Amino acid sequence: MHAMACTIQQGPSGSEVWALSRRQYGVVSRAQLVALGFTRSAIAHRLSRGRLHRVRLGPRPLLAVYAVGSPDPSSHGRWMAAVLCCGKGAVLSHFSAAALLGLREREPAVTDVTIGRGADLRPSGVRVHRRAFLSDDDVGVFDGIPVTSPVRTLIDLAAKLGAPRVEAAVNAADKLDLVDPESLREALEHRPGVPGVRALRRVLDRRTFVLTDSELERRFARIARRAGLPTAETGVWLNGWKVDFFWRELGLVVETDGLRYHRTAAQQSRDLRRDHTHERAGLRTVRFSHAQVRHDPGVVIETLAEIARQLRARSFYGPQQ
Spatial separation of the C-alpha atoms in residues 66 and 30, rounded to whole Å: 7
Residues 86 and 200 in one domain: yes
Residues 5 and 56 in one domain: yes
Spatial separation of the C-alpha atoms in residues 30 and 315, rounded to whole Å: 77
The rounded mean pLDDT for the chain is 86
Tell me, what's the pLDDT at 3?
Answer: 43
- Please give the DSSP secondary-structure letter assigned to residue 108: P
The answer to whether 78 touches 58, Cβ cutoff 8 Å, is: no
4 contact partners, CB below 8 Å, separation of at least 6: 69, 70
Model confidence pLDDT, tens digit, residues 156-208: 999 999 988 998 899 889 888 899 887 898 899 888 888 999 999 988 887 66
The answer to whether 145 touches 92, Cβ cutoff 8 Å, is: yes
Residues 91 and 194 in one domain: yes
Provide the domain count of the chain.
3
Q: How many CA atoms lie within 13 A of 306 on its CB side?
A: 7
Domain end marker among 180, 207, 234: 207
Give the C-alpha distances (Å, rounded to integers) separating 289 from 119, 133, 203, 278, 286.
47, 38, 15, 19, 10
For residue 298, what is the domain's CATH number? Answer: 3.40.960.10
Model confidence pLDDT, tens digit, residues 46-88: 999 988 999 877 667 778 899 998 888 999 999 999 999 988 8
Tell me, what's the pLDDT at 321?
Answer: 38
Residue 260 has pLDDT above 60, yes or no: no
Residues 221 and 145 in one domain: no
Residue 11 has pLDDT above 90, yes or no: no
The answer to whether 94 touches 157, Cβ cutoff 8 Å, is: yes
Residues 244 and 229 in one domain: yes
pTM above 0.75, yes or no: no
H helical segments located in the chain:
2-8, 14-23, 30-35, 40-48, 75-84, 94-101, 150-158, 163-175, 181-188, 197-207, 213-226, 265-280, 290-295, 297-317
- The 3-class SS string of 52-82 reads EEEEECCCCHHHCEEEECCCCCCHHHHHHHH
Model confidence pLDDT, tens digit, residues 271-303: 889 999 999 999 999 999 888 888 889 999 999
Domain end marker among 207, 224, 251: 207
The answer to whether 300 touches 223, Cβ cutoff 8 Å, is: yes
Sheet containing 284-289, strands listed edge to edge, beginning at the edge strand earlier in sequence: 233-234, 245-247, 252-257, 284-289
Residues 98 and 37 in one domain: no
Residues 178 and 118 in one domain: yes
Residues 230 and 172 in one domain: no
Tell me, what's the pLDDT at 13?
Answer: 55
Domain end marker among 174, 207, 240: 207
Residues 109 and 136 in one domain: yes
The answer to whether 95 touches 77, Cβ cutoff 8 Å, is: no
Residues 167 and 221 in one domain: no
Residue 25 has pLDDT above 90, yes or no: yes
Residues 196 and 78 in one domain: yes
Domain that holds residue 235: 213-317
Residues 136 and 165 in one domain: yes
